[in-house]
Amino acid sequence: MNNLKNTITLLRIPFSIYLMPIYFFALSQTSLLNTSKAIWVFFLLHLLIYPASNGYNSYMDKDTESIGGLEKPPMSTKQLYWVTLGMDITGLCLALLFVNTVFTGLLFVYILMSRAYSSKLIRLKKFPILGFLTVFIFQGFWTFWMVFEGVKSGNLNFFSNFLPYAAVASSFMIGGAYPLSQIYQHKQDAESGDKSLSMLLGINGTFYFGTVMFTIAGILLYYYFEKTTFVHFYVFVVALFPLIIWFNLWMAKTLKNKSAANFKNLMRMNNTSALCMNGCYILLAVLNHTDLFQL
């Protein structure tokens, strides 16, 4: 029973709330969506694929200190490996049956890259730039594209309009947040033989890098909303204002005292980010799709 409990804990299913903004953003930007497929895509990503990725990463890392969403992770067992494999296979089969082949193909590549990121054989995460680019591309642009292909209704072409700008902006948002998620793990990563981007940048550099990434994301979204519905950019700015305030407060505090770069402060930022960004994109989805749902 303990093994099963540990396995479920290490799947970190509640952590999916921090990965939901890309889903809701992509959902909000389709001109017409298929509601039933949107539900399936949400279920597959947040209850199967993301938790499987979390669990596989924990199985490979054998974490003994705080990780995303868990301050004191339990020990992993072989059971965790087989459960994550079963969840990935189940997710792909359900995607093929209930969504579409394009979404399934993109999901398959996402799973492969997620495994390559953590696998001891390939271990992309031990390379600071390569690991960063993997997360930057696949948790941002790729996920936005994947969700769009899963939930769209009709012959909408992702690359024939301004949507790629929104997808690239998503990558820059992820690119700013990703090194911050590593900022308290320098010692643990070094012991594991990994070199994170945050280690390469240093604590101060991680915050400066995040500032640049978030600024670029804002510029891209300004351009995107200017070409689509500009009033939605104001919704975005107002919704993210608490996150901007917290990020700058945390940065100022950490620049004075490096001990502020800790798990609790990171989780405060993650929680603020999840609340602001999910709320923003859900509101945009409601504004865009009030009269456009199609079963």
Q: What is the pLDDT of residues 219-266, one digit of tens each?
A: 999 999 999 989 999 999 999 999 999 999 999 999 999 999 998 999
pLDDT-derived band of residue 291, with 50, 70 and 90 as boundaries? low
What pLDDT shows up at residue 295?
40
Average pLDDT over residues 260-288: 92
AA letter at 19: L
Buried/exposed 110-139: b ≥16 CB within 10 Å, e otherwise: bbebbbebbeeeebbbbbbeebbebbbbbb
3-state SS class at 152: strand
pLDDT at 67 over 70: no
For 154-205, write each residue's pLDDT tens digit: 777 899 889 999 999 999 999 999 999 989 888 777 767 778 899 999 999 9
Query: Average pLDDT, whole number, for the chain?
Result: 90
Give the C-alpha separation, 127 to 116, whole Å: 12
* The domain over range 2-294 is classified in CATH as 1.10.3470: no
pLDDT of residue 161: 84
Segment 38-53 shows an average pLDDT of: 97
- DSSP strands (E only) in the chain: 33-34, 293-294
The two structure tokens encoding residue 92:
């792909």
Is the pLDDT score of 293 beyond 50? no
pLDDT of residue 64: 61
Q: Please enumerate in sequence order all residues whose Cβ is within 8 A of that of 156, keeping only pairs 6 or more positions apart, or say none.
A: 30, 31, 32, 148
Q: Which helix (H) or strand (E) holds 1?
A: none
Which tens digits make up the pLDDT trace of 90-140? 999 999 999 999 999 999 999 999 999 999 899 998 899 999 999 999 999
* pLDDT in the model for residue 157: 87
d(CA 86, CA 80): 10
Q: Does residue 62 register a pLDDT over 80?
A: no
Please give the pLDDT value at position 17: 93
The domain ranges of the chain are 2-294
Pairing between strand 293-294 and 33-34? Answer: parallel
* N-to-C CA span, the chain: 41
pLDDT of the residue at 37: 95
